[in-house]
Homo-oligomer: A and B are copies of this chain.
Amino acid sequence: MKTRVTTLFGIEKPIVQAGMIWCSGWELASAVSNAGGLGMIGSGSMYPDVLQDQLQKCNAATDKPFAVNLPLLYPQVEEHIQHIIDAGVPIVFTSAGNPATHCQRFKAAGIKVVHVVSSTKFALKAQAAGCDAVVAEGFEAGGHNGREETTTLCLVPRVAEVLDIPVIAAGGIYNGATMLAALAMGAEAVQVGSRFVASVESSAHQAFKQKVISTQEGDTLLTLKEITPVRLIKNEFYQRVAQAYERGASKEELAQLLGRGRAKKGMFEGDLVEGELEIGQASAHLEEILPAAEIIDRMMRDCVAGSQRLFSMAHTTK
């Protein structure tokens, strides 16, 4: 399957693995790239020396292109950028900040830049900043999310319509049917998060992976909107946040309750009670922890089969 995104990245299959904190190390990224997708290291949860080590290992594990996700508000962003350039990473996905901040610097180093957005307005800004593509991510996605709560179905078709650069859809995409739906919306690739958290190669704690595949519809909600909106599993920590809202807690009280390090605690250390468990709505439909290559193969097979079914449906009149 060839699109402007597969051409841009030099990959075979239009599936991008999201660079998620605590889940996306070199093992997952290289497995995805080796299977023909675009693997991505999530640098937001790594110290610079950890990122450097991960980049070396990923380069050793695959000859295929892979990417790094870089949250622009990361405190040691300069050191991260230097390691990314030094390691010869060909593609960077920027998020959580102004897309113009480092875009031209990456491009001068020959690096393709993709920015993650949750609105059409920011998609246009990313294009104006010189980005090569955008990820348009909907409300159903896990982790940090937009305040406007626009869903993938309401966001992606519009962004694809108004932008000249290609669009990668994210939020709620976990199998062949949802991948096909995203392509129908006008996306030219999909970014997949939750499905890859529950993969063999993910660096998430085993207890968190098990929790992810046992969630049911309605088990995640977007919360902490006054700080940074984040989609979490409704565990004990989440319930304390909900109780704080009920008693009319201030933004400061909420920030204090959140504290620091809860995402690591939950997702990397497996504390399902006190941890912040970031995952998308799609987790409700996951039932097994699978190897990354098998996730990609199943998505591709079912997406192509679905496109045939859809074509026949659209051309049957009797």
Contact B119 A217 (CB under 8 A): yes
Shortest A8–chain B CB gap in Å is 15
- Provided the pairs A303-B314, A314-B304 are in contact, do residues A154 and B140 lie with their beta carbons within 8 angstroms? yes
> Which of chain B's residues have a CB closer than 8 A to the CB of A58?
none
Q: Per-position contact with B for A127-166: 1 when CB-CB < 8 Å, else 0?
A: 0000000000011100000011111111101101100000
Q: Which of B157, B185, B248 lies in contact with A248, CB distance below 8 A?
A: B248
- Provided the pairs A139-B139, A148-B217 are in contact, do residues A186 and B182 lie with their beta carbons within 8 angstroms? no
Count of chain A residues with a beta carbon within 8 Å of a chain B beta carbon: 59
Please tell me if A316 contacts chain B, counting CB pairs below 8 Å: yes
Which of A22-30, A201-209, A281-289 lies at the interface?
A281-289
Contact B181 A184 (CB under 8 A): yes
CB<8 Å pairs between A and B, sample of 27: A1-B313, A1-B316, A1-B317, A2-B313, A2-B317, A2-B318, A140-B151, A149-B218, A149-B222, A151-B171, A151-B281, A152-B153, A153-B153, A153-B172, A153-B181, A154-B281, A158-B217, A158-B284, A160-B177, A180-B314, A181-B181, A183-B314, A246-B248, A304-B315, A307-B310, A307-B314, A310-B311
* Interface set of A (CB-CB < 8 Å, partner B): 1-3, 119-121, 138-140, 147-155, 157-158, 160-161, 171-173, 175, 177-178, 180-186, 217-218, 221-222, 246-248, 281-282, 284-285, 303-304, 306-308, 310-311, 313-318
